[in-house]
Amino acid sequence: MNALRIKNFEIRNRLFVGTGKYETYEIMQKALEASGCQVVTVAVRRERLIDQQGRSLLDYLDLSKYVILPNTAGCFTAEDAIRVALLGRELLEKQGNPGAGWVKLEVLGDKKTLLADPVGTIEATKELVKEGFTVLAYTSDDPRSAVRIKEAGAAAVMPAGSPIGSGQGVLNPLNISLCLELLKEGDPDYPVIVDAGVGTASDVTIAMELGADGVLLNTGIAHAKDPVQMAVAMRHALEAGYLAYRAGRIPKKRYATASSPFEGVISYIPGE
Amino acid sequence: MTTSNMTIKLNGTPHDVPEGTTVADLVAQSNLSPDKVAVELNRRLLKTDKYATPLKDGDEVEIVTFVGGG
């Protein structure tokens, strides 16, 4: 696979994996390793002043190996998303991780669907770009919103295949392909990453076969019966889709076309 | 010498703390080292070199870190 370039970031592996919802930090570590990912996402939350175990996620992530992509999950206004982005950057600057330069922007509309609020996303994108961030913006699969977010200055747009954590895969392949078409018009290297909704390996392949530059997922691995095995499946699925897209699929046809020649058959052919 | 208390909001909850308390004091009471937290004072990012500033009554402090997320 070619490296994926998102502004000043060069990413070797196009699978971005989240760190949420694993049963233990140890399983998370193994799953991340098995997925082959280079980019891992994290969330910013209030430090619990009384934490029995006193364990920090940061103790379980090899910061020399992974590029951390902090998100603004849980933010419903542009203002809050900007605050969280600044806090995430501060944390990563302290850790000396290159992820300090970017953010996965989420400005959500409501808690039930977790769908992105396009107006808030655009507002926050503009502001964060001014603050010097490389903005990777989560959005729904609406192609026109995606274009507006790109115009606002996002370095990558990340349309959702289906709602976050729903495991429904790519529900509207047409919309994802229209997002890709519009975002890449005259700008073929503009990065588009399908984010959210992946339930199993084939969903990743489908996203990549549509021409996505990468896939971001979390629950599909973390809540699989065997997260480590699923992580391996996701890695292969991504590669399969990447290669198939570049190889160029055959057009779909209504009727069969024989793979073995009819010329020279010794059999009776109906209708001839 | 009498030390008077003041009320600040720490991570959304009101706390009575002695006058002169600093962000550095609050960070020290958390389980994490200062390089694993980030701090907001009254909704603005506070850089590490400002942690020694004494807090004022009514100040709102957020101390955050990373958790798992997608």
Instruction: Provide the sign of the torsion angle of the four alpha carbons A80, A17, A24, A54, taken in this order.
Output: negative
Q: Provide the pLDDT for residue A48.
A: 76
Q: Provide the pLDDT for residue A47.
A: 85
Residues of chain A with pLDDT below 50 are 50
In this complex, which of A28, A41, A87 lies closest to B64 when CB atoms are compared? A87
Residue of chain A minimizing CA distance to B44: A83
Residue of chain A minimizing CA distance to B43: A83
Q: In the predicted model, is pLDDT for residue B2 greater than 70?
A: no
Q: So what's the ipTM on this one? A: 0.93
In this complex, which of B36, B43, B64 lies closest to A58 when CB atoms are compared? B36
Q: Are the beta carbons of A86 and B45 separated by less than 8 Å?
A: yes
Q: Is A69 exposed, middle or buried (0-12, 13-18, 19+ CB in 10 A)?
A: buried
Q: Provide the pLDDT for residue B32.
A: 80
Q: What angle do CA B40, B43, B48 make, to 5 degrees?
A: 20
CB-CB neighbors (< 8 A) of B64 in chain A? 44-47, 87, 91
Strand order in the sheet with A102-105: A102-105, A134-139, A156-159
Residue B70 lies in a domain: no
Residue B42 lies in a domain: yes
Q: Are the beta carbons of B62 and A46 separated by less than 8 Å?
A: yes
Cβ within 8 Å of A, B 20-59: 29-32, 35-38, 40, 43, 45, 47-48
Q: Provide the pLDDT for residue A52.
A: 55
- Residue B4: pLDDT band (50, 70, 90) is confident
Residue of chain B minimizing CA distance to A19: B68
Does the CB of A22 have a partner CB in chain B at under 8 Å? yes
Count of the separate structural domains present in chain B: 1
CB-CB neighbors (< 8 A) of B66 in chain A? 42-45, 56-58, 68, 70, 88, 91
Token pair recorded at residue A100:
């300090």
| Nearest-angstrom CA–CA distance, A82 and A142 | 23
Q: Which residues are CB-neighbours of A263 under 8 A, at least 6 positions away? A: none
Over A13-65, what HEC string results?
Answer: CCEEEECCCCCCHHHHHHHHHHHCCCEEEEEEEECCCCCCCCCCHHHHCCCCC
Residue B57 lies in a domain: yes
Domain assignment of residue B24, given as a range: 5-46+53-64
Residue B24 lies in a domain: yes
Residue B69 lies in a domain: no
Residue B23 lies in a domain: yes
Q: Provide the pLDDT for residue A50.
A: 47
Distance between A116 CA and the closest CA of chain B, angstroms: 14
Q: Are the beta carbons of A90 and B38 separated by less than 8 Å?
A: yes
CB-CB neighbors (< 8 A) of B11 in chain A? 46-47, 49
Average model confidence (pLDDT) across chain B: 92
| Nearest-angstrom CA–CA distance, A253 and A36 | 36
DSSP codes, A146-178: HHHHHHTT-SEEEE-SSSTT-----S-HHHHHH
CB-CB neighbors (< 8 A) of A48 in chain B? 31
Catalytic residues of A: 104
| Nearest-angstrom CA–CA distance, A139 and B31 | 35
Which domains does chain A carry? 4-247 (3.20.20.70)
- Residue B31: pLDDT band (50, 70, 90) is confident
Residue B31 lies in a domain: yes
Residue B34 sits in a domain whose CATH number is 3.10.20.30
Q: Do A210 and A170 meet the contact criterion of CB atoms below 8 Å apart?
A: yes
Q: Are the beta carbons of A71 and B30 separated by less than 8 Å?
A: no
Q: Are the beta carbons of B31 and A49 separated by less than 8 Å?
A: yes
Q: Are the beta carbons of A41 and B11 separated by less than 8 Å?
A: no
